C-alpha cells in the first residue's frame, strides 16, 4: 500500500537532467565519488565511474588541489593517499552547510533566541513533527492502515509551510523523523528525498539548507543516524552561543534532542544527563540573578515568572527522560514538585504546561504498574487538547492515540473502539 503512496508523492521517477548536473557538480568538488541512488534509481558503479572520469581532469589527481562548489571548499587527495570515505566527506560538507544556515538565520534576525519566550503553538515545525512522529510510530505497527497514511500524507503536504517558516526546529525534526521511519525504509528514504527536493526548489540549490539536505540525500536515509550527532552537535553549539540560557526553545529542545540522540545510539546516557543538568542549572542561575532585582518592578516580576515556567518545563523534560530510562520514582518526584507550581497558578496561566504534566503523570503511573490511576490523566490530556487546540492539531491526535492504546492495554476494547471511531470521524472533517 505504501508504495502506491510513494508514487502519488512523485518520488519514484527516473533521474532528471538537473539531478545529474547536481551530482556532477558534487563529483567535481570531490564531495561524491561513489554510486548513488537518486529518486529510486541506482546509478551503476561502472556508469558512475565513466562519468566521473569525464568531469575530473587527470592532473587534478596527481597533486594537492582545491575544488569549490556552492561555497564549499574541499581538499582533493594527495598522491599516494586514499580519499576519505564518502560518509566522512559528506559529513564535513554537511557541517559547513549547517554552520552557514544557522549563522545566516541569526545574522538576518530570522531567529531571535536572545530573550526568554518562544511560541511553540505558532511553530509549524512543532505541529508537523508531532504528526509525523505519530504516523511513524503507527506505521511501524501497521503498514496497511488508511488512517496512518492519511496522517503521513497530511504531514507531507504541510512540509512546504514548514520549510517556508524555517524555524530552529526544522533541521532536528527532519533528521529525527527520517530516523524514526527507518523501520519502514522506503518511507524514510521518501521523506529525505522529498525534503531535499522541496528545499532545493523553494530556496535554491546554493542555499545552505539545500546543501545540507543534498549531502544527506546522497548518503541515504540509512546513513543519517551515523552523522546525526555530529551535525546536530555543531548545530546546537551555534544555538547555545546565540541564545539566552533560559530561552524556552533552547531549554526545551536542546536536552530533548540529546535524549533522542541516545535512542539513536549516538550519545551515551551520562552525556545526556549532563545536558539536562546544565540546562536546569543555567535557568536556576538566571533566577538567582533575578533575585537581586528590587521588588515592585513589574517587568522584572514578569521576567522571573517566565524563568520559573521554563525551569519547570526543563524539569518536566528531564522527568520524561527518566521515564524512558525506567526511573519512574525519580520522575514522579519531579512531577510532584511541578504540581505545586501548577496549583499555585501555573495551570491556569500556561495550559500547555498543564497538558504536558498530565501526560507525564499518566506515563509515570503506567510505569509504576498503576494503570487504572493513569486513566483520568490520559483522559484529561485528550479533553484539554481537544478543547484548546481542536482536532486539526497533531498534539490532539497524539493524545487520542495514546488514550486508545491505554484502553486496549486495560482490555477495555469498547472504550478503545468508541474513541477510535471518534478519531476517524473527526479526522475526516479536518
pLDDT in tens, 408-430: 999 999 999 888 887 777 655 54
- Supply angle C-alpha 217, 177, 113, rounded to 5: 95
Phi/psi of residue 183, nearest 5 degrees: -60, -20
The answer, yes or no, to whether residue 46 has pLDDT greater than 70, is: no
In a domain, residue 321? The reply is no
In a domain, residue 345? The reply is no
Cell of 410: 486495560
**Tell me, what's the pLDDT at 415?**
92
If one compares 366 and 231, the residue with the highest pLDDT of the two is: 366
Of 288, 32, 270, 5, nearest in space to 135 by CA: 5
In a domain, residue 137? The reply is yes
In a domain, residue 270? The reply is no
Span 251-256, mean pLDDT?
Answer: 86
Report d(CA 319, CA 341) in Å as an integer.
15
pLDDT averaged over every residue in the chain: 79
Span 142-170, mean pLDDT?
Answer: 86
Report d(CA 177, CA 394) in Å as an integer.
15
Exposed/middle/buried for residue 295 (C-beta within 10 Å: 0-12, 13-18, 19+):
exposed
The answer, yes or no, to whether residue 169 has pLDDT greater than 70, is: yes
**Tell me, what's the pLDDT at 121?**
80
**Tell me, what's the pLDDT at 39?**
46
**Tell me, what's the pLDDT at 426?**
64
**Tell me, what's the pLDDT at 320?**
92
Report d(CA 323, CA 364) in Å as an integer.
7
In a domain, residue 280? The reply is no
Lowest average pLDDT, out of 15-19, 35-39, 115-119, goes to 35-39
pLDDT in tens, 302-348: 888 888 989 999 999 999 999 999 999 999 999 999 999 999 998 99
3 state SS of 232: helix
**Tell me, what's the pLDDT at 394?**
76
Q: In the chain, how many domains are there?
A: 1
**Tell me, what's the pLDDT at 252?**
85
E-assigned strand segments in 15-132: 37-38, 41-42, 66-69, 72-75
Q: Are strands 66-69 and 41-42 parallel, antiparallel or unpaired?
A: unpaired
Report d(CA 330, CA 323) in Å as an integer.
9
Span 124-149, mean pLDDT?
Answer: 81
Residue 57 confidence class, pLDDT cut points 50, 70, 90: very low
Share above pLDDT 70 across residues of the chain, in percent, rounded to a whole number: 76
Report d(CA 53, CA 46) in Å as an integer.
11
Report d(CA 93, CA 29) in Å as an integer.
10
> Residues with Cβ < 8 Å from 285, sequence gap 6 or more?
245
19 alpha-carbon distance from chain centroid: 26
The answer, yes or no, to whether residue 58 has pLDDT greater than 50, is: no
Under DSSP, the state recorded for 13 is -
In a domain, residue 309? The reply is no
In a domain, residue 153? The reply is yes
In a domain, residue 179? The reply is yes
If one compares 69 and 271, the residue with the highest pLDDT of the two is: 271
pLDDT in tens, 353-404: 999 999 999 999 999 999 999 999 999 999 999 999 888 787 888 898 899 9
CB-based contact 167:122 (threshold 8 Å): no
**Tell me, what's the pLDDT at 254?**
86
If one compares 218 and 301, the residue with the highest pLDDT of the two is: 218
CB-based contact 98:235 (threshold 8 Å): yes
Span 162-172, mean pLDDT?
Answer: 93
Span 159-171, mean pLDDT?
Answer: 93
**Tell me, what's the pLDDT at 3?**
54
If one compares 63 and 110, the residue with the highest pLDDT of the two is: 110
Span 288-300, mean pLDDT?
Answer: 73
Of 239, 235, 221, 197, nearest in space to 95 by CA: 235
> Residues with Cβ < 8 Å from 185, sequence gap 6 or more?
221, 222
Range of the domain at 218: 85-244
Sign (positive/negative) of CA torsion 380, 396, 113, 170?
A: positive
**Tell me, what's the pLDDT at 37?**
47
pLDDT in tens, 175-219: 989 998 898 888 899 999 999 999 999 999 899 999 999 989 988
Residue 289 confidence class, pLDDT cut points 50, 70, 90: confident
**Tell me, what's the pLDDT at 362?**
97
Amino acid at each position: 500500500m505504501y508504495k502506491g503512496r510513494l508514487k502519488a508523492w512523485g518520488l519514484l521517477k527516473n533521474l532528471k537532467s538537473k539531478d545529474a548536473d547536481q551530482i556532477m557538480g558534487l563529483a567535481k568538488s570531490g564531495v561524491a565519488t561513489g554510486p548513488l541512488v537518486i529518486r529510486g534509481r541506482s546509478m551503476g558503479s561502472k556508469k558512475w565511474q565513466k562519468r566521473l572520469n569525464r568531469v575530473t581532469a587527470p592532473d587534478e589527481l596527481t597533486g594537492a588541489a582545491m575544488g569549490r562548489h556552492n561555497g564549499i571548499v574541499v581538499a582533493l587527495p594527495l598522491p599516494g593517499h586514499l580519499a576519505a570515505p564518502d560518509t566522512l566527506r559528506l559529513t564535513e560538507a554537511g557541517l559547513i552547510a549547517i554552520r552557514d544556515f544557522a549563522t545566516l538565520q541569526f545574522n538576518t534576525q530570522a531567529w531571535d533566541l536572545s530573550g526568554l519566550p518562544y511560541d511553540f503553538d505558532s511553530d509549524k515545525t512543532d505541529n508537523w513533527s508531532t504528526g509525523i512522529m505519530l504516523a511513524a510510530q503507527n506505521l511501524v505497527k501497521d503498514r496497511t492502515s488508511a488512517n496512518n497514511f492519511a496522517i503521513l500524507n497530511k504531514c507531507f503536504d504541510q512540509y512546504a509551510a514548514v520549510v517556508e517558516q524555517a524555524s530552529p526546529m526544522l533541521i532536528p525534526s527532519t533528521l529525527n523523523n527520517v530516523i524514526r521511519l527507518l523501520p519502514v525504509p522506503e518511507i524514510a528514504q521518501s521523506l529525505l528525498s522529498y525534503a531535499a527536493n522541496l528545499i532545493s526548489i523553494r530556496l535554491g540549490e546554493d542555499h545552505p539548507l539545500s546543501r545540507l539536505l543534498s549531502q544527506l540525500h546522497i548518503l541515504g536515509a540509512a546513513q543519517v543516524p551515523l552523522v546525526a550527532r555530529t551535525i546536530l552537535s555543531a548545530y546546537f553549539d551555534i544555538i547555545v552561543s546565540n541564545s539566552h540560557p533560559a530561552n524556552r526553545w533552547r531549554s526545551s529542545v536542546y536536552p530533548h534532542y540529546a535524549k533522542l540522540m541516545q535512542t539513536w545510539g549516538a550519545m551515551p546516557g551520562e552525556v545526556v544527563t549532563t545536558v539536562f543538568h546544565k540546562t536546569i542549572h543555567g535557568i536556576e542561575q538566571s533566577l538567582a540573578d533575578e533575585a537581586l532585582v528590587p521588588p515592585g518592578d513589574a517587568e522584572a516580576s514578569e521576567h522571573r515568572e517566565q524563568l520559573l515556567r521554563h525551569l519547570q518545563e526543563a524539569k518536566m523534560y528531564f522527568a520524561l527522560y527518566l521515564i524512558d530510562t525506567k526511573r519512574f520514582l525519580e520522575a514522579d518526584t519531579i512531577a510532584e514538585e511541578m504540581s505545586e507550581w501548577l496549583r499555585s497558578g501555573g495551570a491556569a496561566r500556561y495550559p500547555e504546561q498543564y497538558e504536558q504534566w498530565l501526560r507525564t503523570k499518566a506515563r509515570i503511573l503506567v510505569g509504576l504498574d498503576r494503570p487504572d490511576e493513569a486513566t483520568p490523566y490520559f483522559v484529561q490530556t485528550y479533553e484539554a487538547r481537544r478543547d484548546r487546540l481542536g482536532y486539526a492539531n497533531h498534539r490532539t491526535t497524539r493524545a487520542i492515540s495514546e488514550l486508545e492504546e491505554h484502553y486496549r492495554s486495560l482490555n477495555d476494547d469498547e472504550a478503545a473502539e468508541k474513541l477510535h471511531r471518534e478519531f476517524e470521524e473527526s479526522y475526516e472533517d479536518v
